With several copies, the nearest count.
Chain A
Amino acid sequence: MVQAVNSALDNMLSKDEDVLVFGEDVGYFGGVFRTTDGLQEKHGAHRVFDTPLSEGGIAAIAFGMGLNGLKPVCEIQFADYIFPAYDQIVNEIAKLRHRSGGEFWTPITIRTPAGGGIRGGHHHSQSPESQFTHTPGLKVVYSSTPYNAKGLLISAIESEDPVIVFEPKRCYRGPFYGDPHKVPTWSGHPEAEVPDVHYTVPIGEARLVNEGNDCTVIAWGTMVHVCEEGIRQSGASCDLIDLQSLIPWDREAVVRSVKKTGRCVIVHEAPKTSGYGAEMAASVQERCFWSLEAPVTRVTGWDTPFPHTTEWDYMPSPQRIAEAIRGALEG
């Protein structure tokens, strides 16, 4: 997945000279997760560079560059550290096109590794997507595999709107099925075959990972893989929808599936209250009420900060997901 991200950036740097890549440690060193490895050497320090340690400043200069015709792609080293840039993102970047009557806009991309499972404790584990989905003007995507990591990132860079791209850092080196003692790599995974060339995964389209009739399971990021295992453990036949895009989300795919199955379980890592699962649950019951045979339920991180040693008791496990699916089937 790290290579897929790298390849997306490399393709776009080659294709469009308005693309610049920068952030903390992304230049010479190639990023603490190695996603920008080799790009400075290949494309030059004027296009791929290190910045001061200042997320607010990074977002602000990206704003200005985007306004002045470039396509900056900046990295926030961990999603937990995006908050010093929150004002620039939600009050400024998101609103520029609208506030200026369409005279100015800033089509920037902000990439950030998110989520838990790497023993990161409070501040290297958070998955703050819902805090961006409430802001009109932003598009929000969340990748889960090498294939969509590259395809969504290219779509984001090519978008005329600002896009926040969350990458599940737990899956950088391989998928995670919920068992911390197993560390599979991506090799052999069907979604790990990443063309070297430019391709896109369109923003707004979900991916149907698994088909079934009993229940619809909706997830994004790392949880997509954990849900595969949870579904297996539940013994039920489920549609598994990898949402991929949170704003805008794929209404058709979700509604079609829930109308078919009549049941829905939503899974995410972030705390439950006001997580993006709340929006999904609210929307699903609004749109599919008469088809529902059980309440829409959520399996999420607890409403607490993210712990370090006990993170496996915090993140949704296949067992919890299986239990929720069984609960939905019982109605």
Chain B
Amino acid sequence: MNNDGCETPIRVPSAPFRPGESASFEEWSYSPSDLMMPDPLSCEPKDTIPHSTGLIRVLGDDGSRSGDWDPVISDSDLLIGLEHMVRLRIFDDRMMKMQRTGKLSFYMRSLGEEAIAIAQTMALEKQDWIFPTYRQPGAQFVRGRDMVSMICHCIGNVEDNVKGRQMPVHYTYREGRYISVSSPVGTQFSQAVGVAMASAYKGLDEVTITWIGDGASAEGDYHYALNFASVFRPPVILNVVNNQWAISTHANLASGSSTFADRGLAYDVPCLRVDGNDFLALYSVTKWARDRASAGLGATHIEVLTYRAGAHSSSDDPTRYRPSDEPDVWPGGDPIHRLRDHLISVGAWTEEKHRDLEGRIDSEVMAAYKEAVKFGDLAQGPYPSSDTIFTEVYSDVPWHLQEQWDEMNRLGGD
């Protein structure tokens, strides 16, 4: 049946395409020359009205870079970004395979969204705080995290720094100022404002970046974040990653509005809408937002337009709720291919080098994986000791936990 609500007494919107239909999108009319870059330090929120409804792009459909937002970044840095993206994709593929064999309980890929956290983190300074959801693991590569340690977390072995307490992909990496991922969606968005308020209070040049999904932006925390940011103007970058889906729920059901970006304007916060598969544009808007934040001008609200090319998670089967060709016909392209093709077109890279890179990273991931499983995996153990159930609940172990801990051990916890 047609679940478009127009014929029903109550209006219930629907996804644009459902299985059995064939998805088709109009070609993008957005081009890199559409939008000027306002001066970050003198820009007023209302100056960003065009930026909140248009789309900031740097990489054109032909792979060339242009426009006002074209950032200053060296090809060698771009190659680093490309490498991280390739790394993340291969890493994800490996983990997904391992999930199928029971080495992990669960997995979530960043497929199609690799550019986001990688480009944005590269645009920040080392002291800046990253407050991610489960789809920004790539930031850790930028911050230098050891892949073995990431895998140890995912496979829940004795070296997992989360100590087997949370599901895979709930990374924490204090050294890289990458804040612990939590499952309840949205909560980090408002918390990040507090992190940034503390930086401001201490007078430090620290910016906090955070993300929320198109789906999760319906939570109260979204409103808290924007509103507190609008009142206290802390140095925070608030990204809504609109990948068009929240599990099976299309963004049409997340909001009745056309863009997420423009929501920030009502809070008197500048708003940018950026092509989330365009590494250069992401880098550029993030630098712009950081410049403002660092100058004491407060938050920037960014809609990152992308497409969740894979399943929501290893538990999900998107063919049940969207046409299987939808990812392919979506006009935003693949973020890795787009940056690769650009670098090739300017002579900084070649197809062959790319294949070599993929090969090298594949080996790197395999090696890391082999190293990690030495410490155990979910299928076989060893797991973190069951003692980790009782530690770090509090800063100390209160008597009632100690009593229960003793009881567990008496009854033969390991």
Contacts and interface: CB of A to CB of B under 8 A. Distances in A.
A235 interface: no
A91 B166 contact: no
A271 B91 CA distance: 36
B14 to A, nearest CB: 7
Interface string B374-414: 00001000011110111111110011110011001001111
B8 A44 contact: yes
Contacts of B247: 24-25, 29, 32
Nearest to A77: B247
Given A65-B198, A70-B201, A308 B248 contact: no
A29 B394 contact: no
A110 interface: no
Contacts of B199: 68
Nearest to B183: A123
Given A25-B248, A99-B166, A64 B192 contact: yes
Nearest to A105: B395
A96 interface: yes
Interface in A151-197: 159-161
A319 B411 CA distance: 8
Contacts of B321: 28-29
Interface stretch (B28-36, B68-76, B155-163, B277-285): B155-163
Nearest to B179: A104
B165 A119 contact: no
Contacts of B10: 46
Contacts of B231: 51-52
A50 to B, nearest CB: 5
Given A52-B255, A124-B167, A323-B411, A102 B391 contact: yes
B189 to A, nearest CB: 8
A304 B191 contact: no
Nearest to A95: B182
A40 interface: yes
Contacts of A330: none
B150 to A, nearest CB: 13
A56 B246 contact: no
A25 B15 CA distance: 12
Contacts of B224: 54, 56-57, 60
Given A24-B249, A41-B1, A84-B220, A103 B183 contact: no
Task: Report which residue of B174, B184, B185, B199 has the largest number of chain A beta carbons within 10 angstroms of its beta carbon.
Answer: B184
B159 to A, nearest CB: 11
B187 A92 contact: yes
A98 B165 contact: yes
A24 B228 CA distance: 13
A53 B227 CA distance: 10
A267 B88 CA distance: 44
A60 B219 CA distance: 13
A60 B190 contact: yes
Task: Report which residue of B223, B224, B321 has the largest number of chain A beta carbons within 10 angstroms of its beta carbon.
Answer: B224
Interface string A100-111: 111111010000
Nearest to B200: A46
Nearest to A88: B187
Main secondary structure of the interface of B (DSSP, over half): loop
Nearest to A159: B395
Contact of B394 (A67, A161, A307): A161
Interface stretch (A2-10, A206-214, A225-233, A309-317): A309-317
B221 A60 contact: yes
A174 B395 CA distance: 35
Given A45-B4, A248-B400, A121 B221 contact: no
A259 interface: no
A49 interface: yes
Given A69-B202, A314-B389, A44 B193 contact: no
Task: Report which residue of A27, A72, A95, A313 has the largest number of chain B beta carbons within 10 angstroms of its beta carbon.
Answer: A313
Task: Report which residue of A92, A161, A310 has the largest number of chain B beta carbons within 10 angstroms of its beta carbon.
Answer: A310
B370 interface: no
A53 B194 contact: no
Contacts of A72: 194
Contact of B194 (A63, A87, A120): A63
A331 interface: no
Interface in B1-37: 1, 3-5, 8-10, 12, 14-15, 18
A235 B107 CA distance: 42
A121 B183 contact: yes
A99 B201 CA distance: 27
B386 A320 contact: no
A63 to B, nearest CB: 5
A311 B226 CA distance: 37
A198 interface: no
Contacts of B255: 52
B111 to A, nearest CB: 20
B170 A121 contact: yes
Nearest to B219: A54
B404 A303 contact: yes
B216 interface: yes
A251 interface: yes
A246 B144 CA distance: 43
B5 A62 contact: no
Task: Report which residue of B3, B180, B194, B220 has the largest number of chain A beta carbons within 10 angstroms of its beta carbon.
Answer: B194
B315 interface: yes
Contact of A62 (B15, B185, B194, B208): B194
A52 B228 contact: yes
A137 B383 contact: no
Nearest to A320: B411
Given A25-B249, A29-B321, A64 B9 contact: no
B412 to A, nearest CB: 7
23 contacts: A25-B248, A29-B249, A45-B5, A45-B8, A50-B248, A53-B246, A60-B193, A60-B225, A61-B193, A63-B191, A64-B197, A69-B202, A97-B393, A100-B174, A104-B180, A121-B167, A121-B183, A122-B182, A303-B404, A308-B165, A309-B378, A309-B384, A319-B412
Query: Nearest 4 A-B pairs (CB), nearest first?
Result: A64-B194, A46-B8, A309-B164, A61-B194
Interface of A: 20, 24-25, 27-29, 32, 40-41, 44-46, 49-57, 60-70, 72, 80-81, 83-84, 87-88, 91-92, 95-105, 107, 119-124, 136-137, 139, 159-161, 204, 247-249, 251, 272-273, 302-305, 307-310, 313-314, 319-320, 323
